[in-house]
Amino acid sequence: MAELKLTSARKSFGSIDVLHGIDLAVRDGEFVVFVGPSGCGKSTLLRLIAGLENVTSGEIHIDGERVTHLPASERGLAMVFQSYALYPHMSVRKNMGFALENMGLKPAEIEARVARAAAMLRLTDYLDRKPKALSGGQRQRVAIGRAIVRDPKIFLFDEPLSNLDAELRVATRKELASLHAGLGGTMIYVTHDQVEAMTLADRIVVLNAGRIEQVGTPLELYNRPANAFVAGFIGSPR
């Protein structure tokens, strides 16, 4: 079970208010997409959830437990970034298993988790390669694999496909959808791409200038946009 709840979550950097009080409840197993224009606060919101930034005020709960001031390493989440940041000198196997060594897992358990994630991501034949001998799509799958092996309560993705070309983006998007179907984990996914949001999300959170404009299923947002901003952003006629 992995529910997430944000209550009046605010974030300021110095005198600049970036998030103005976010209230949001994400259900166990839900695929929620944060969408909005560049600079609206999507990454900051994800980083607050991850524990990579501290809220200025407000609360964060995961599975009913208050995690507002817990460090990232104790929240049981895994984040996949836009820049995959793989270790160039390590094999795919090592890239995927490295964090588990630090968590103190036994070698056999690490090997089993890496093998399972590699099979899921069609990386089994590439485990001994170095990142430079992989395609962009394969590298991004390794980055996703690194999150999967940690068996996180919640997956956080920050524009994971934005460095891929259009064709690969569609293919990887489909993989993510089937991954979610297979794993059943709670996923929070940031993008500025409306098509990505509409195709992946159980529910979409539309952000604008540090505020939530609307939360709803893709169909609800398309059919009943709350305002002109949502209508314009999602692309429905209004």
Which residues here bind ligand ADP, judged by CB under 6 A? 13, 16, 18, 36, 38-44
- Which entry of ligand ADP, Mg ion, none binds 71, CB below 5 to 8 A by partner kind? none
- Tell the smallest beta-carbon distance from residue 192 to ligand ADP (Å): 7
- Tell the smallest beta-carbon distance from residue 210 to Mg ion (Å): 13
Q: Would you count residue 43 as binding Mg ion (CB under 5 A)?
A: yes
Q: Would you count residue 82 as binding Mg ion (CB under 5 A)?
A: no
- Which entry of ligand ADP, Mg ion, none binds 110, CB below 5 to 8 A by partner kind? none
Number of residues that bind Mg ion (CB under 5 A): 1
Looking at the Cβ atoms of 16 and 219, the one nearer to ligand ADP is 16
Q: Would you count residue 44 as binding Mg ion (CB under 5 A)?
A: no
C-alpha to C-alpha distance for 157 and 172, rounded to whole angstroms = 13
Looking at the Cβ atoms of 31 and 34, the one nearer to ligand ADP is 34
- Tell the smallest beta-carbon distance from residue 26 to ligand ADP (Å): 18
- Tell the smallest beta-carbon distance from residue 53 to Mg ion (Å): 13
A 10 A CB-CB count for 109 gives 12
- Tell the smallest beta-carbon distance from residue 138 to ligand ADP (Å): 26
- Tell the smallest beta-carbon distance from residue 207 to ligand ADP (Å): 7
Looking at the Cβ atoms of 13 and 87, the one nearer to ligand ADP is 13
Q: Which of 62, 222, 229 is nearest to 156 (CA)?
A: 62
Residue whose pair of structure tokens reads 């984040």 in the numeric block = 79
- Which entry of ligand ADP, Mg ion, none binds 120, CB below 5 to 8 A by partner kind? none
Residue 191 contacts residue 159 (beta carbons within 8 Å): yes
Nearest residue (beta carbon) to Mg ion: 43
Task: Please report, as ranges, the residues that interact with Mg ion according to CB under 5 A.
Answer: 43
